[in-house]
Amino acid sequence: MKAIVVLLICYTAVPLFADESEHYFTQGNEFYKQGEFERAIEQYQKVISLGYESGALYFNLGNAYYRTGQIGLARLYYEKAARFLKNDEALRQNLGLVKMRLVDQIDVPPRLFLVEWWHAFLNVFSLSLLSWLTAGLLWLFLALLAIRIYLSSRGRNHRLRGFTAVLLSVLVLFVFILAHKIYLFESEHYGIILRPTVTVHASPNPSGTEVFVLHEGTKVKVLRRTGDWLEIRLADGKTGWLQKKVMEEI
């Protein structure tokens, strides 16, 4: 059943593209269905080169790379798709297939239940959706506040006080969540190893001590940059330096 999931492609992004990009996207889907995966990749990349992106585009591109055996690029574009397709079951299963084929099986240390719950809650909303919800709550609160002021000026019994307080609390919560989401988006950067084998050093120098080896498809967190070198951290806490050219950021 899992093998079938990888064959799926998504069509929903077409209306988001301009005519030229829509043509390339549709052509890519046709090549994919015909089993011409390299040609499908070429068409999808043309859409990206025109400045368009979407969950469907990245998902389809990840599928095409998977079918050509390019596991690193498959994971890269699945991870990019995950920024748009929140809680998508097909994407989750395809990512699972990729991870099973990785050489580096990194054990993630358990986190506190509240931390897990908080991160799961953050992943429910995309940044754009959270921004719209927060803006909507703000306008609703301002409208309700204006109604309260108007009723008060008329000397009427304004029963909206409790509802206004609740709405304000919800608004403050969403502002906090949005601020935290923006902070994570701006400060946390991840990348995927695209070379078959990569040596990680203890310092940003090719002659530095070799601390461990990574393989294609492994996801790393970028901590800082020094010239052409990146300091990275794995999910299990290991850190080191590698050259920027061996990976691509999500």
pLDDT score at 58: 95
33 confidence band (pLDDT: 50, 70, 90) = very high
CATH 1.25.40.10 matches 2-100: yes
Q: What is the band of 17 on the pLDDT scale with cuts at 50, 70, 90?
A: low
Q: Residue ranges per domain, the chain?
A: 2-100, 113-187, 189-249
Q: What is the per-residue pLDDT for 13?
A: 47
Would you state the pLDDT for residue 4? 40
**Percentage with pLDDT > 70 across the chain:** 87
Q: Which of 24-33, 48-57, 154-163, 198-207 has the lowest mean pLDDT?
A: 154-163
Give the pair of three-digit tokens for residue 84.
Answer: 């748009």
- Mapped onto helix, strand or coil, the DSSP state of residue 54 is coil
Percent helix, percent strand, percent coil in the chain, to nearest 5: 55, 15, 30
Statement: residue 15 has pLDDT above 80: no
Cβ of 241: how many Cβ atoms within 10 Å? 21
Per-residue pLDDT at 2: 41
Q: Note the helical H segments in the chain.
A: 2-5, 19-33, 37-49, 55-67, 71-82, 89-100, 113-122, 127-153, 161-187
Mean pLDDT in residue range 157-164: 70
- 144: burial class by Cβ within 10 Å (0-12, 13-18, 19+)? middle
- Distance, in Å, from the CA atom of 91 to the CA atom of 122, rounded to the nearest integer, reads 18
Q: Do domains 2-100 and 189-249 have the same CATH topology?
A: no
pLDDT band for position 108 (50/70/90)? confident
% residues pLDDT > 90 (the chain): 48
Of 69-78, 154-163, 197-206, minimum mean pLDDT range: 154-163
The answer to whether the beta carbons of residues 57 and 89 sit under 8 Å apart is no
Would you say residue 5 has pLDDT above 90?
A: no
Res 3: pLDDT: 41
Q: What's the pLDDT tens digit per position in 202-213?
A: 999 888 899 999
Name the residue with higher pLDDT: 182 or 238. 238
Q: Higher pLDDT residue, 216 or 129?
A: 216
Q: Please, what is the average pLDDT of the chain?
A: 85
Q: Does domain 189-249 have CATH number 2.30.30.40?
A: yes
Confidence tier at 10 by pLDDT (50, 70, 90)? low
- Check residues 87 and 25 and name the one with the higher pLDDT: 25
